[in-house]
């Protein structure tokens, strides 16, 4: 886009929970405005009425009648590729809710359309915009921790029973914590630590007795040689999850705990408290010597709002996407490899999208 608009006009495709949240964020921003809502469900017109914008049942009709600068796609995963490709072919940049698609083949369609039209794709791995996450990234890239040896992750909480009253959450592969929740953690690990080359996963559905997993144990191998582990469960009363410990989502009870521990050659980092441990400069190393710790800080900000600001700058060609189509496809490939490994009972190498 050569001539930047005074105010960026956006449409939201999909009027579910996340679509409504995106619409509300747009209306609260000075740099952009909400032009329309699109959803196949005719009752979703009430969402458009609430925001005082036009409502469309089909994306082609919206693109024909509205002049928009970008679109936010918040529909079910299986619909992402079709809608994204349609927007990209019209030269409309898109922000796609995670995961980028439901399959690597569908993700490839988005990558190819973005490349062919030279139109930007931003994928909604919103945690990358959280100042806490950005600060941890800066620490891990510095000499404070040094070359990474390994990382340990806990994602443990208790989802309320009514959460699984929505049928799609009980049916693989889209249901279950791997593609709903852990894809965020896998993407964050890729952002912090580099690409993951191999996973070996075990899953269990013993507690909830659903078709989808409720607990997972995952071993990770990173391309840089570091190792990692994740234990995840959505059925245990426990405080050690990203959501509970960062306070990012106000619907979760906030606790002052850590859920990630990074271990490097020079030091270690506990997240999200942002505490680093290392031997003082020039002092001897070894378990008999005391470690020094340092407390880091980060500003507090809503990552979804920061993501929207970033999307507006991407549309104006002032920034490149923090998580583009190819990068997000690598996170999808990692999550799908977790499910494949659990199904086959063996390590799985990550496929290139």
Task: Label residue 14 left, alpha or beta by phi (over 0 means left) and psi (-120 to 50 means alpha).
Answer: left
Residue 324 in tokens: 């583009």
CATH fold of 128-301+333-349 reads Dihydrodipicolinate Reductase; domain 2 (3.30.360)
Strands (E), 241-319: 260-264, 267-271, 275-278, 292-295
Question: What does the pLDDT read at residue 6?
Answer: 75
Measured at the alpha carbon of residue 285, what is the angle toward residues 279 and 286, in degrees to the nearest 5?
115
Name which CATH class applies to 8-125+304-324.
alpha beta
Question: What does the pLDDT read at residue 311?
Answer: 98
Are 54 and 72 in contact, with CB atoms under 8 Å apart? no
Residue 210 in tokens: 């659903």
Cα separations (Å) of 216 from 171, 172, 271?
16, 14, 21
Phi/psi of residue 23, nearest 5 degrees: -60, -45
4's CB contacts (< 8 A; 6+ apart) are 316, 317, 318
DSSP letter at 105 equals H
The count of other CB atoms within 10 Å of the CB of residue 137 is 15
Question: What does the pLDDT read at residue 2?
Answer: 40
Measured at the alpha carbon of residue 144, what is the angle toward residues 139 and 145, in degrees to the nearest 5?
85
Condensed to tens digits (0 to 9), the pLDDT of residues 126-153 reads 999 999 999 999 999 999 999 999 999 9
Among 149, 140, 252, 263, smallest CA distance to 191 is for 140
Residues of the chain with CATH 3.40.50.720: 8-125+304-324
Cα separations (Å) of 156 from 151, 183, 208, 242?
16, 15, 15, 9
Measured at the alpha carbon of residue 244, what is the angle toward residues 243 and 245, in degrees to the nearest 5?
100
Mean pLDDT per 10-residue run, the chain (353 residues)? 72 96 96 97 96 97 97 96 98 97 96 98 98 98 95 96 90 86 96 97 95 96 97 96 94 95 98 97 94 96 97 97 97 96 97 81
Residues of the chain with CATH 3.30.360.10: 128-301+333-349
Are 94 and 72 in contact, with CB atoms under 8 Å apart? yes
Q: What does DSSP say about strands 94-97 and 70-73: parallel, antiparallel, or unpaired?
A: parallel
Measured at the alpha carbon of residue 174, what is the angle toward residues 122 and 88, in degrees to the nearest 5?
30
Residues 229, 230, 236, 241, CA torsion sign: positive
Are 154 and 296 in contact, with CB atoms under 8 Å apart? no
Question: What does the pLDDT read at residue 172?
Answer: 85
Question: What does the pLDDT read at residue 310?
Answer: 98
Question: What does the pLDDT read at residue 1?
Answer: 41
């Amino acid at each position: 886009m050569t001539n930047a608009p005074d105010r960026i006009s956006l449409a939201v495709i999909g009027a579910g929970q996340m679509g409504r949240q995106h619409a509300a964020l747009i209306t609260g921003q000075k740099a952009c405005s909400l032009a329309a809502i699109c959803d196949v469900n005719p009752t979703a017109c009430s969402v458009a009425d609430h925001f005082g914008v036009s409502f469309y049942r089909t994306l082609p009709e919206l693109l024909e009648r509205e002049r928009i600068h970008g679109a936010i796609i918040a529909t079910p995963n299986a619909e992402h590729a079709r809608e994204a490709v349609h927007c990209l072919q019209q030269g409309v940049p898109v922000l796609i809710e995670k995961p980028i698609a439901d399959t690597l083949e569908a993700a490839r369609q988005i990558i190819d359309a973005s490349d062919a039209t030279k139109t930007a794709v931003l994928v909604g791995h919103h945690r990358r915009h959280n100042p806490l996450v950005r600060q941890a990234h800066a620490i891990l890239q510095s000499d404070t921790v040094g070359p990474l040896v390994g990382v340990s992750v806990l994602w443990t909480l208790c989802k309320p029973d009514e959460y699984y009253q929505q049928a799609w959450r009980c049916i693989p592969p889209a249901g279950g914590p791997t593609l709903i929740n852990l894809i965020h953690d896998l993407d964050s690990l890729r952002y912090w630590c580099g690409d993951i080359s191999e996973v070996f996963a075990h899953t269990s559905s013993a507690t909830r007795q659903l078709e989808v997993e409720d607990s997972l144990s995952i071993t990770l191998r990173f391309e840089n040689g570091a190792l990692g582990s994740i234990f995840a469960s959505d059925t245990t009363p426990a405080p050690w999850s990203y959501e509970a410990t960062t306070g990012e989502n106000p619907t979760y009870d906030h606790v002052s705990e850590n859920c990630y521990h990074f271990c490097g050659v020079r030091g270690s980092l506990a997240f999200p408290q942002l505490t680093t441990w290392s031997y003082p400069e020039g002092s001897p190393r070894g378990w008999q010597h005391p470690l020094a710790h340092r407390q880091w800080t980060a500003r507090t900000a809503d990552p979804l709002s920061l993501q929207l600001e970033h999307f507006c700058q991407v549309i104006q060609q002032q920034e490149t996407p923090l998580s583009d189509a190819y990068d997000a496809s690598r996170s999808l490939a990692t999550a799908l490899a977790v499910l494949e490994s659990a199904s086959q009972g063996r390590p799985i190498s990550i496929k290139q999208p």
